[in-house]
């Protein structure tokens, strides 16, 4: 198990949905605006039958990282957004991606879920190359949870329906079981009393917590967060960051694009600094924030930590 040593007793319900098996030992601890994002594919059709084909196959070995990017490049027209990115995320590791706006952070996150196609390179999830398209890609996405800047909840459905729809339609989970898991997750993120509310009746922070619960309901192997607090009022940021910290302490593998330096410093196992579509520096949070090696990173921190 990847044990960070910061888990709290009772942070995961014993019978809850967030049972995450991870392996390996951690190292010592010492967004540009995006267009509207499609919600993961679900239909209003009758519940499907769950099959093992609906998940990414198990990793080939305990040493296999959960996520691996190999020479990944991406351009929008003549603008090179990602330049031969190499990145590995271990099982149970929490990696915070920081950097100035326009550095490629959000595009990197979206490429991992293939919401943006890459021009070259390879992305491997749990030992399996990310499929290019079709049903294989849809199955792979079911194992990759993603939380966006915008909440992307179904406005005409209750919070409970939003959280149960994916497991029922994609995983084939029976309604009663899906609702039991959803209620446990909504309790976990602190909005158990909002199950019957429509998203419009919730605050921004509550909607984002509902979006996190919805992603967790699919029992993903890895969670991607694309600046999950950037659309929130300042007073609501803390409640979402608290959920992310609890999730990090539970052992979930997480890639978090964020402007919240406090979260990156306190909750991440590793910090990645990007600029110009490249990873310029990576290291343990204490080391990076205390003594960044790259001049560009020092300049960035000098600006964001003094305002």
pLDDT at position 63, please?
Answer: 77
User: Closest Cα partner for 74 from 116, 132, 106?
Assistant: 116
Residues in contact with 244: Cβ distance below 8 Å, sequence separation at least 6, in sequence order: 212, 225, 228, 254, 256, 263, 267
Residues in contact with 87: Cβ distance below 8 Å, sequence separation at least 6, in sequence order: 67, 68, 69, 72, 108, 272, 279
**What are 58-111's pLDDT values in tens digits?**
545 567 899 999 999 999 999 999 999 999 999 999 999 999 999 999 999 999
**Quick one: CA dihedral 231, 211, 85, 261, positive or negative?**
positive
Q: Which residues pair with 73 in a beta bridge?
A: 120
What gap in Å lies between CA 17 and CA 66, rounded to an integer? 19
pLDDT at position 132, please?
Answer: 87
**What are 145-164's pLDDT values in tens digits?**
999 988 889 999 999 999 99
pLDDT at position 67, please?
Answer: 97
Secondary structure (3-state) at 85: strand
Helices (H), 147-203: 159-166, 175-188
Overall pTM surpassing 0.85 (yes/no)? no
Q: What is the residue whose two structure tokens read 């319900």?
A: 13
The H helix count followed by the E strand count for the chain is 9, 10
What gap in Å lies between CA 293 and CA 282, rounded to an integer? 9
Contacts 24+ apart (CB under 8 A), 278-281: 278/83, 278/84, 278/85, 278/104, 279/85, 279/86, 279/87
What gap in Å lies between CA 170 and CA 257, rounded to an integer? 27
Query: Using the 8-state DSSP alphabet, how is residue 39 labeled?
Result: P
All residue ranges of the chain with pLDDT < 50 are: 1-3, 5-56, 59
pLDDT at position 62, please?
Answer: 62
């Amino acid at each position: 198990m990847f044990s960070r040593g910061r888990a709290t007793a009772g942070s995961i319900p014993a019978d809850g949905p967030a049972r995450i098996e991870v392996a390996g030992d951690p190292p010592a601890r010492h967004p540009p605006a995006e267009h509207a994002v499609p919600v993961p594919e679900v239909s209003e059709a009758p519940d499907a039958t769950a099959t093992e084909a609906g998940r990414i196959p198990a990793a080939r070995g305990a040493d296999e990282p959960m996520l691996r990017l190999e020479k990944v490049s991406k351009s929008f027209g003549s603008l090179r957004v990602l330049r031969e990115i190499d990145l590995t995320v271990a099982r149970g590791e929490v990696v915070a991606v920081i950097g100035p706006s326009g550095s490629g952070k959000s595009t990197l996150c979206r490429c991992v879920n293939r919401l943006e196609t890459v021009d070259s390179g390879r992305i491997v999830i749990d030992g399996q190359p990310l499929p290019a398209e079709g049903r294989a890609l849809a199955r792979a996405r079911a194992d990759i949870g993603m939380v966006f800047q915008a909440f992307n909840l179904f406005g005409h459905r209750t919070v409970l329906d939003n959280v149960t729809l994916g497991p029922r339609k994609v995983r084939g989970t029976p309604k009663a079981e899906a609702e039991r898991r959803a209620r446990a997750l909504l309790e976990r993120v602190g909005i158990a009393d909002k199950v019957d509310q429509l998203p419009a009746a919730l605050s921004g922070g509550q909607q984002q917590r509902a979006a996190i619960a919805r992603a967790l309901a699919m029992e993903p192997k890895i969670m991607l967060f694309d600046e999950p607090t950037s659309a929130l009022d300042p007073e609501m940021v803390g409640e979402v960051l608290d959920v992310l910290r609890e999730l990090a302490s539970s052992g979930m593998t997480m890639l978090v694009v964020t402007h919240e330096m406090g979260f990156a410093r306190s909750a991440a196992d590793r910090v990645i600094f990007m600029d110009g579509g490249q990873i310029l520096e990576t290291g343990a949070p204490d080391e990076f924030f205390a003594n960044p090696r790259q001049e560009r990173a020092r300049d960035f921190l000098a600006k964001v930590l003094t305002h």
